């Protein structure tokens, strides 16, 4: 099954070939500034675009109870009106009061260094275009719905917001240590496809799960995928596929655990990970703690 969030840039391709293989990037990068941010041009959205956003939002909102973590459910209304693509500056006005973050428009996927640099400044890059009605169930690259609905609500959570900034700062360090691929896996298995264990059972916090119609049920309820306890080094050597539902997920017990696990200097972590074999997604190694799907 295809997930509806596919981030070709995880293959570390150069900005000019973002997306699938050598497909040109979809956005209009000519309007981007040096830091890859661009103004959100509200006039460019058609009524069909607003209708697509309204339909995607309504479908996901209905699914959240029992599947999305409570911090996400509590914050999703901060996106504003559910029936039109919101103005990024309106959300930033609320977000900056909550955690000092703001969202900035970008034409689409941007190079890793630029991405890390924006996160380190508490600026979250939000793609400014939306998928076509034909792509309602699956879009190759992250669009405004994935970035807003998937990523922005948890930026209102102070601990998760601190983790996201630390991730950006860490990414800049990782770039200098040629460890971007290891950090990409950390992003993938936490920010994009992370699960959290709660007294009520497993819940989703990853944006790629929360913005996906099908993967939200798959990740939390299906008996198919493996779900193992968060382990930083194990996660950094676990491969992933970027255009299908995940075969394996990692489970944290709190955002605090995630922040604390990434506080130490990663230099020895990168060295240790590089000495261990890569693992296919969905494999459980001896002694690893597995989680059962939510009831
Ligand atoms: C850092 C990580 O590897 C990841 O692929 C980055 C790269 N560039 C990006 N660019 C945008 N606009 N949005 C993203 O989520 C990402 N992800
Ligand atoms: N603390 C890590 C960087 C990092 C922080 C948070 C998330 C990811 C990476 C280091 O110093 O290398
Ligand atoms: Fe994303």
Per-residue model confidence (pLDDT) at position 283: 97
Domains of the chain: 29-274 (1.10.800.10)
Per-residue model confidence (pLDDT) at position 295: 76
The overall average pLDDT reported for the chain is 92
For ligand 2, what atom is nearest to the CA of residue 265? 11
Segment 180-200 mean pLDDT: 97
Catalytic residue among 37, 92, 146, 215: 146
Per-residue model confidence (pLDDT) at position 4: 52
pLDDT over threshold 50, residue 192: yes
Distance CA 173, CA 27 (A): 28
For ligand 2, what atom is nearest to the CA of residue 167? 7
Instruction: For residue 151, indicate whether it is catalytic.
Output: yes
Return the HEC string of the chain: CCCCECCHHHHCCCHHHCCCCCCCCCCCHHHCCCCCCECCCHHHCCHHHHHHHHHHHHHHHHHCCCCECHHHHHHHHHHCCCCCCCCHHHHHHHHHHHHCCEEEEECCCCCHHHHHHHHHCCEEEEECCCCCHHHCCCECCCCHHHHHHHHCHHHHCHHHHHHHHHHHHHHHHHHHCCCHHHHHHHHHHHHHCCEEEECCEEEECCHHHHCCCCHHHHHHHCCCCEEEECCHHHHHCECCCCCCCCCEEEEECCHHHHHHHCCCCCHHHHHHHHCCCCECCCCCCCCCCECCCCC
For ligand 2, what atom is nearest to the CA of residue 171? 9
Per-residue model confidence (pLDDT) at position 243: 87
251 lines ligand 2 (CB under 6 A): no
Q: Which two tokens stand for residue 188?
A: 């993938």
Ion ligand 3: protein residues whose beta carbon lies under 5 Å: 142, 207
Structure confidence by residue, pLDDT tens digits, 243-273: 899 999 999 999 999 999 999 999 999 999 9
250 lines ligand 1 (CB under 6 A): no
- Structural contact between residues 219 and 193, judged by C-beta atoms closer than 8 angstroms: yes
Catalytic residue among 141, 192, 212, 215: 192
For ligand 1, what atom is nearest to the CA of residue 9? 5
Q: Which ligand is nearest to the CA of 207?
A: 3
- pTM, two decimals, is 0.94
168 lines ligand 2 (CB under 6 A): no
Closest C-alpha among 210, 208, 202, 209 to residue 230: 202
Closest C-alpha among 117, 99, 251, 149 to residue 190: 251
290 Cα–ligand 3 center, Å: 25
Percent of the chain with pLDDT over 70: 92
Instruction: For residue 211, indicate whether it is catalytic.
Output: yes
Structure confidence by residue, pLDDT tens digits, 113-137: 999 999 999 999 999 999 999 999 9
- Model ipTM over 0.85: yes
Percent of the chain with pLDDT over 90: 89
Consult the annotation and say whether 192 binds a ligand. Answer: yes
Closest C-alpha among 270, 234, 239 to residue 252: 234
70 Cα–ligand 2 center, Å: 26
Segment 141-169 mean pLDDT: 98
Per-residue model confidence (pLDDT) at position 22: 57
Structure confidence by residue, pLDDT tens digits, 51-84: 999 999 999 999 999 999 999 999 999 999 999 9
pLDDT over threshold 80, residue 176: yes
231 Cα–ligand 3 center, Å: 21
Per-residue model confidence (pLDDT) at position 231: 98
Per-residue model confidence (pLDDT) at position 16: 34
Q: How confident is the model at residue 275 (pLDDT cuts 50, 70, 90)?
A: very high
Consult the annotation and say whether 146 binds a ligand. Answer: yes
Strands 195-198 and 201-204 turn out to be antiparallel
pLDDT over threshold 70, residue 24: no
Q: How confident is the model at residue 19 (pLDDT cuts 50, 70, 90)?
A: very low
- Structural contact between residues 52 and 4, judged by C-beta atoms closer than 8 angstroms: no
Distance CA 215, CA 33 (A): 34
């Amino acid at each position: 099954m295809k997930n509806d969030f596919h981030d070709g840039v995880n293959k570390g391709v150069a900005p000019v070939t973002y997306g699938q293989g050598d497909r040109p990037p979809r956005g209009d990068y000519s309007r981007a500034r040096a830091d890859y941010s661009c103004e959100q041009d509200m006039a460019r959205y058609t009524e069909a675009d607003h209708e697509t956003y309204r339909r995607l939002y309504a479908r996901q909102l209905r699914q959240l109870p029992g599947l999305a973590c409570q911090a996400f459910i509590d914050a999703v209304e901060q996106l504003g009106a559910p029936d039109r693509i919101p103005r990024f500056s309106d959300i930033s006005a609320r977000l900056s009061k909550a955690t000092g973050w703001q969202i900035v428009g970008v034409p689409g996927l941007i190079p890793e260094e630029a991405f890390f640099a924006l996160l380190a400044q508490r600026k979250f890059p939000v793609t400014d275009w939306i998928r076509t009605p034909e792509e309602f169930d699956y879009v190759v690259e992250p669009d405004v719905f994935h970035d807003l609905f998937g990523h922005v609500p948890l930026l209102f959570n102070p601990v998760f917001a601190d983790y996201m900034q630390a991730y950006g700062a860490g990414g800049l360090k990782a770039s200098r240590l040629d460890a971007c691929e290891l950090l990409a896996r950390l992003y993938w298995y936490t920010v994009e496809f992370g699960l959290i264990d709660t007294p009520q059972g497993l819940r989703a916090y990853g944006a790629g799960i929360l913005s996906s119609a099908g993967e939200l049920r798959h990740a939390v309820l299906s008996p198919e995928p493996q779900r193992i306890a968060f382990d930083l080094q194990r996660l950094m050597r676990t491969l992933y596929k970027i255009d299908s539902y995940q075969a394996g997920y990692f489970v944290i017990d709190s955002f605090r655990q995630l922040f604390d696990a990434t506080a130490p200097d990663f230099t020895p972590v990168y060295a240790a990970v590089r000495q261990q074999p890569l693992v296919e997604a969905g494999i459980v190694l001896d002694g690893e703690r597995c989680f059962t799907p939510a009831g």
